[in-house]
Amino acid sequence: MNYRLTARILSYALLTEGALLLLPLAVALYYGESPAPFLYTIAIVAVLGGLLRLPKLRSQEFYAREGFVSVALAWIALSAFGALPFVFSGDIPFYVDALFETISGFTTTGASILSDVESLPNGILFWRSFTHWIGGMGILVFILAIMPMVQDRSIHIMRAEVPGPQVSKLVPRTRNTAAILYKIYLVMTLVLIGLLLLGDMPLFDAALHAFGAAGTGGFGIKNTSVGYYNSAYIDVVLGIFMILFSMNFNLYFMLLLGQVKDFFKNEEWRWYMIIIAATVILIAIDIYPMYGSESLRYSFFQVSSIISTTGYATTDFSLWPQLSRCLLLFIMLIGGCAGGTGGGVKVGRCIILMKSAGVEVHKLLHPRSVRRVSLDGKPVQDSVVHSTLVFFALYIFIIVVSVLLVSLDNLDFSSTFSAVMACISNIGPGLDVVGPMGNYGSLSAFSKVVLSLDMLLGRLEIFPMLALFSVFTKKK
């Protein structure tokens, strides 16, 4: 294990966080608010980041283990220090609450302990939503895009941080791939801000909602979330962009290269659209007695928000009929596409799981036949199929353990189960107590820590956190 190189990467992450904190600092100054919470935090991360850069590198060796451990440590450190502005400002004085809110932000979950977000200062509101944008594509992917790191083996960082069963380069150099991803991400965010402005949303509100949609995070800046604006135009625009951001960004690169046919041939994208369309129609029919002609609007927005794992809300879907609630829980588990900013198991993995089951059944019926799992007409490597099966088994195991631990708070099963599902799938709002009009503030500190770990496990897709655990528990 190359500890010095891992420390160097961690220093890059902390120094980058300090630089990014200058934006909410500027917002606070613009609105005449105290810059002290951000100045204190910037000073702390700058000093610590500088200290981590002091040890001289003895080796440039960088393999998968270093990549996974570096990503896990960076996300924990960014969250730990990113929580400080909330504590220093006094807006979230209890550190565990502040840490929960920050991890929820960086992991693009959107689960909140706050009951009155409208009372927060603008600088703090900006930082809270900006963590979504930072975490959406990945902070270390951002660092890869702006500075060279450990030659081309930095692909191990992308594999650890970018969601999905497999990660590939768009171009030969990893740094250039990261830069392309972030350029697409930035342009789409700016387009969304512009469209929200056309819907008469104030610039500050438009920027923060765009951060949430881009990172598929969903921190609301109004107590009633997007429902505050009561605008069909805003619902449709945000709904479309939540889906776009949760799709594989490699597909957008295909479009830029003019490979339109390859875009539409993508199997994961096609199934994603089918799942969305079917769920929207079923829920619209189910809630028609509640909303009448507006049922399609509410259904489309909420399905887009949940399957993309954003978590914005225009109504309290906890009050919807049981079928609709179950469908929302189902698409919580599925989540978005690999290579997008959404959470969940991912549509690509679900396809591999279903096809693996089909192959096994075929082998039972025809023992001598040779059939492999394929995706987009190409055979999927056995290692990818194996890792997908292991991932899904671990995912279910973590959900079961987490539900048992959170149940110690004695909440009803719907609230307990949906809280775990919403956190590990990086969605945010669950049902009932933790529903879109509720929050996680009433949970115990222990449950908040458990759910914070779930959020990290969900965003980093389990393996980086397990790699970190193995490094600290291995025998010397």
CA torsion angle for 169, 173, 177, 178 (degrees, to 10)?
A: 120
Determine what percent of the chain falls in helix, strand and coil, rounding each to the nearest 5.
70, 0, 30
Which two three-digit tokens encode residue 382? 């056995």
pLDDT of residue 150: 46
pLDDT of residue 165: 52
pLDDT of residue 364: 85
Question: Which residues of the chain are modeled with pLDDT < 70?
Answer: 1, 57-64, 139-175, 471-476
pTM for the complete prediction?
0.90
Q: What is the spatial distance between Cα 378 and Cα 372, in angstroms, rounded to a whole number? A: 10
Compute CA distances 168 → 38, 65, 292, whole Å.
Answer: 37, 18, 46
pLDDT of residue 157: 53
pLDDT of residue 171: 47
pLDDT of residue 437: 85
Instruction: Report whether 9 contacts 160 (CB < 8 A).
Output: no
pLDDT of residue 36: 96
Sign of the dihedral defined by the CA atoms of residues 441, 445, 446, 451, in that order: positive
Instruction: Report whether 12 contacts 70 (CB < 8 A).
Output: no
Of 43, 47, 26, nearest to 35 (Cα)? 26
Contacts with 36 (C-beta within 8 Å, 6 or more apart), sequence order: 88, 89
pLDDT of residue 471: 66
